[in-house]
Amino acid sequence: MVGDRVVVLCPSGALFVEALYAVWAAGLVAVPVNPASVARELAAVLADVDAGAVIVHRDLMAVVDQAGDAVAAPPPVLVVDDDTGVAQAVDSAARPLAAPVDGDPEQLALLQYTAGTTGRPKGAMLRHRNLLANHCQLAATKLHVDGDDRVLCVLPLSHIYALNVALAYPLARGASVVIAPRFDAAESLALIAEQGVSGLLAAPPMLAMWAQAPGVDELDLSRVRFAVSGAAPLSPSVLRRFSHRWGVPVYEGYGLTETAPVLTTTAVTGDTRPGSVGHPLPEVELRLLGEDGQPVRRGDPGEVWARGPNVFAGYWRDPTETARALRDGWLATGDVGYEQDQALHLVDRKRDLVIVSGFNVYPREVEDVLTAHPKVADAAVVGVPDPTTGEAVKALVQPVPGQAPTAAELAAHCDGQLARFKIPAQVAIVDELPVGPAGKVMRAMLRG
């Protein structure tokens, strides 16, 4: 029936795209699930959405079988593979889907589950008009694409940034999308050259690897005219290294699953200087509020609240969380930022704040200083318990290959750039930082 929820469990590729648009054509609601999900995670989604069906790649059937055993009423399963596309599978099904229906912009298009790194995942309800509004907003910026463009997507299509910005937006504008099933720096570089890619949609770790990958200068990358960084904060050092080597602008954006997803981008004005996540998209309103719920003074940090046609309808079957997030059409993002020259500068997530002897330490500020050190490839900062100060700053540092900065070197580097209470009290050198599928550092894993 129109409005039924259909779980899509496919790796990034043509089958995912076919499944997504088939669900929408039938007037159904797509529920994309990360193909790396385990049975317990999938079972939770199946039960929460009361799924009417599952479209699954044959290679992932074991997870579906295990998840089905854990729910009261397992939904019908449509199995697809590279030889049997969605259309063929539907034609041979015992209960084929209905013919395409007329679209309704107010109908739910997606139940997009938020990343579950900080508690129970919630299903964000996004209407068709939310998704299309973000397309129109992006088209009014320097991210305008058309039929001459080929956009590379190297992020998992189950993520909202990949699904609506790297896939649905270019397709809606007549552009082509080149999908990499997984990220590999060398393979993706070859793909960019072979396919004549003009736009790169990526996350910071990917830009960092492309910036230092061997062989870039030997490839024909002349058609690339822009790169977009999203899903996680982009350090100024990575932005500078990539822009210098590739000779193209890197537009940084900011948004959430709940905003379909983009709220601001440096592509609004074209000013790509490090530090800012840009100006609000057309029809997006922002305000910065203090702990008292009142607007902060210009230049002071406050929680970012947003309103616009791309803001979601609430959380699926969760009126309590919806009421916390939405007030009179305004979305409480949980992010802290300040305004400078009408552009938004993000400070950090409220929940990631470290409090040392009563003083606030925003991890991103410390991370930006650390990653400016020539021996540091990446860094993440968390708070750890301290008997004297309540919390202390701990830095986990991923070194540049062949380099090994000492704690003393990093402390000396931070001295004069950070207040003393912000300088990491603990430093751990790690081979690599744990990141999720969309490139976000999983801080909960770092606090152990």
The band of 120, judged by pLDDT with boundaries at 50, 70 and 90, is: low
Domain with CATH 3.30.300.30 in the chain: 353-446
What does pLDDT average to over the chain?
90
- Decide if domain 5-103 falls under CATH 3.40.605.10: no
- Calpha distance 6→52 (Å, rounded): 6
Cβ(288)–Cβ(273) below 8 Å: no
28-37, 75-84, 215-224, 433-442: the lowest-pLDDT one:
433-442
Q: Is the peptide bond before 261 cis (omega within 30 degrees of 0)?
A: yes
Question: Which CATH code for domain 353-446?
Answer: 3.30.300.30
The answer on pLDDT for 100 being more than 70 is no
Strands 176-179 and 150-153: parallel
The answer on pLDDT for 442 being more than 90 is no
- Calpha distance 239→321 (Å, rounded): 35
The tens digit of pLDDT for each residue in 49-66 reads 999 999 999 999 999 999
**Interacting residues of 334 by C-beta distance below 8 A, sequence separation 6+:** 303, 349, 350, 351
The answer on pLDDT for 356 being more than 90 is no
The answer on pLDDT for 118 being more than 60 is no
The answer on pLDDT for 116 being more than 50 is no
Cβ(236)–Cβ(368) below 8 Å: yes
Q: Please say whether the dihedral angle defined by the alpha carbons of residues 216, 217, 218 and 222, taken in this order, is positive or negative.
A: positive
Domain with CATH 3.40.50.980 in the chain: 5-103
139-148, 225-234, 300-309: the lowest-pLDDT one:
225-234
pLDDT reported for residue 117: 35
Higher-scoring residue by pLDDT: 260, 437 = 260
Task: Give the Å distances, CA to CA, from 411 to 79, 259, 311, 370, 380.
Answer: 55, 39, 42, 9, 15
**Average pLDDT, stretch 180-198?**
95
The band of 114, judged by pLDDT with boundaries at 50, 70 and 90, is: confident
Cβ(255)–Cβ(280) below 8 Å: no
The answer on pLDDT for 363 being more than 50 is yes
CA angle 108, 45, 158 (to 5 degrees): 65
The band of 97, judged by pLDDT with boundaries at 50, 70 and 90, is: low
**Average pLDDT, stretch 377-400?**
88
The band of 89, judged by pLDDT with boundaries at 50, 70 and 90, is: low
**Average pLDDT, stretch 148-167?**
95
Bridge partners (DSSP) of residue 390 are 386
Domain with CATH 3.40.50.12780 in the chain: 130-348
Cβ(388)–Cβ(398) below 8 Å: no
CATH architecture of 130-348: 3-Layer(aba) Sandwich (3.40)
**Average pLDDT, stretch 133-148?**
98
Higher-scoring residue by pLDDT: 143, 97 = 143
- Calpha distance 275→277 (Å, rounded): 7
pLDDT reported for residue 424: 94
Bridge partners (DSSP) of residue 338 are 345
